[in-house]
Amino acid sequence: MKRLDKTELRVLVLTPVGRDASLVEETLHEAEIECQVCPDLVALRLEMQEGAGAIVVTEDLLRPEAVAELGELFAGQLPWSDLPLLIFSGGRETQNSPLEELKKFASYTLIDRPTRKKTLISAVQTALRARRRQYEVRDLLMELEKSVRSRDQFLAMLSHELRNPLAAILTASQLMERRDPSVFVSERGIVQRQTRLLARLVDDLLDVSRVTLGKIALAPGPVDMAALLERCVKSWTPAAGDLGVALTLAPVPASFVVDGDPVRLEQIVSNLLSNAVKYTPRGGHVVVSVEVDEQSGRIRVADDGVGIDPEALPRIFELFTQDDQTLDRSRGGLGVGLTLVRTLVALHGGTVTASSPGRDRGSEFVVQLPRVSSRGVSAAAAEDAPLPEGTPMLILVIDDNADIRSGLGELLRFSGHEVLESADGQQGIALALERRPHAVLIDIGLPGIDGYDVARRLRAALGRSVRLVALTGYGSAQDRERSFEAGFDAHITKPTTFAVLSRVLAPPARSSADLGAPPARRAAGLKT
């Protein structure tokens, strides 16, 4: 424990009747115990803010108004603190006494009058020992908070450093596909699938940090769950097929609209599909179905895979819990997906349950979400929607990573665009002011001046004539909010697909559910 300041262990004395205050002060000084006499409750409040190890008062003080004020003082303590309170009492504690009311706010010790000096000193020393233990808890909590902050900073930096090489790899594989679709088809598919898997693992690590700190925020709106489920199943079908698993979606029987964040709802469904496909052997089946009643809808993800052991079932949604503990780690994962599912479902006012008849007998996860009116619902743009067609644009790419910059440039040129490239913010600004591009893709972590400053300067100089897109490894809600405050039109987290990039670069006449919209419309931004 760190060295305590003397104010943290001093005894505050408030005894308004007779010579009690001076006698207590004299006795404690003889025992070399720091103390401070307070003339009234106002002074006591001020001294408590500076620090205290214990408080000594007399029962004469405890009129109803004084008890209420003391209760307010003690109720305002931090969670680790339970400041010891010693009360000189005449031994008349009754059911309706002020002391009974004080129990609601503070833990106290009665010292009967008349009091011997040794008794007072012993009681105060006992109180101060208890206070020292509280300070030890405080210091441990502060160290824990410090380590959590350090962990979050490390994870944020790790995600940024991992996303840049992942973006370069995914861009290169897409560029190979554009140059010659008939070459290395299987190998390209492996590279793209595994790159997206790594990106998802990075996102899960960051989301775990946000879950533990309660920092996950939603950008809700009416969401058509039938369209969302169809989109998720279609996205996961190729991966399931590669593993020899049949993934199907049963027809949704009725309108199923929820008030939710489409990004987070897709994350819920995708994590459940990932889990089901991962734990279903070749030749198995995963079936997604929906049941709807007047108040809610239930999404069922059922498989005939390895199942869940009965002893593991109660812990299946706990952080870092995995039923597969074999050395080969053949199914991979971090044991965080189902924890995120439970948290995100709860944030949407729903519940999630898991069931299984046992090992090798399959499992079923059921997500129940409240329904809302379908009025005003708009489906989010699908990742496989047709790419927008239009006049070729002049596009500037500002990124200090040469592999990403050149790869993106080549991809955009294949679509008929003219592309300019810059490795730093200052040069990028000068190039943009000279050539006035239609759109600018800007990395945030640039040398010299960062991407936020680049966006602010370009928005001030070029107004709304240019479309500014943040293409970055920084993907937290705070990062997205800063992007839109700086003047960006969209925020895309690396790595991304060319399909998503093309839609974001499209002319801005889009619906309120468009991808990468500002925080007021879609605070979570765009994740791929």
Contact 350, 369 (CB under 8 A): yes
CB 265 within 8 A of CB 304: no
* pLDDT interval class at 93 (50, 70, 90): low
| DSSP SS3 for 520 | helix
Sign, CA torsion 319/298/381/454: negative
Q: Examine residue 262 and say whether the peptide bond preceding it is cis (omega within 30 degrees of 0).
A: no
Interatomic CA distance for residues 316 and 272, integer angstroms: 12
Lowest-confidence segment of 140-149, 451-460, 511-520 by average pLDDT: 511-520
Burial of 512 (0-12, 13-18, 19+ CB in 10 A): exposed
Cβ–Cβ < 8 Å for 199, 495? yes
Q: Which residues of 154-169 are buried (b: 16+ CB within 10 A; e: fewer)?
A: ebbeebbebbbbbbbb
Q: Are 178 and 414 in contact (CB under 8 A)?
A: yes
List residues bridging with 285 in a β-sheet. 246
State residue 327's pLDDT score: 33
Amino acid letter at 392? Answer: P
| Domains in the chain with CATH codes | 6-141 (3.40.50.280), 221-370 (3.30.565.10), 394-522 (3.40.50.2300)
Is residue 472 helix, strand or coil?
Answer: strand
pTM for this prediction: 0.58
Q: Residue 68 has which token pair?
A: 């209420």
Q: What is the pLDDT of residue 121?
A: 93
For residues 526 and 528, give the distance between their C-alpha atoms in angstroms, rounded to a whole number: 7
| Mean pLDDT computed over 275-279 | 90
Does residue 85 or residue 507 have the better pLDDT? 85
Mean pLDDT value across residues 393-399: 95
Checking 430-434 for CB contacts under 8 A at 24+ apart, the result is: 431/396, 432/396, 432/458, 432/461, 432/462, 432/466, 433/458, 433/461, 433/462
CA atoms of 196 and 506, how far apart (whole Å): 24
**What are residue 24's phi and psi, to 5 degrees?**
-65, -45
Q: Enter the tokens of residue 324.
A: 């597969």
Q: Mind listing the pLDDT tens digit for each residue in 141-158? A: 999 888 877 877 777 777
Q: What is the pLDDT of residue 157?
A: 77
Summarised one tens digit per residue, pLDDT across range 112-137 is 877 888 999 999 999 999 999 999 99
pLDDT band at 96 (very low <50, low <70, confident <90, very high): low
Name which of 213-222, 254-263, 316-325 the model is least confident about: 316-325
Tokens read off for 425: 């913010």
- Cα 82 from Cα 70, distance rounded (Å): 13
Does 164 score more than 60 pLDDT? yes
Per-residue model confidence as pLDDT tens digits over 485-498:
999 999 998 888 88
Per DSSP, helices labelled H in 215-261 are 225-242
pLDDT at position 357 over 50: yes
For residues 453 and 476, give the distance between their C-alpha atoms in angstroms, rounded to a whole number.
18
Tens digit of each residue's pLDDT (9 = 90 or more) over 97-110 = 677 777 777 888 88
Sequence-distant (≥ 6) Cβ neighbours of residue 233 within 8 angstroms: 247, 248, 249, 273, 288
Q: Which residues contact 13 (CB under 8 A, 6 or more apart)?
A: 21, 24, 25, 28, 35, 36, 37, 38, 55, 56, 57
**Strand pairing partners for 286?**
247, 303
Most confident by average pLDDT, 46-50, 102-106, 330-334: 46-50
Q: What's the whole-number mean pLDDT along residues 177-200? A: 80
Terminal Cα distance for the chain, rounded:
46
Q: Region 19-45: what's the mean pLDDT?
A: 88
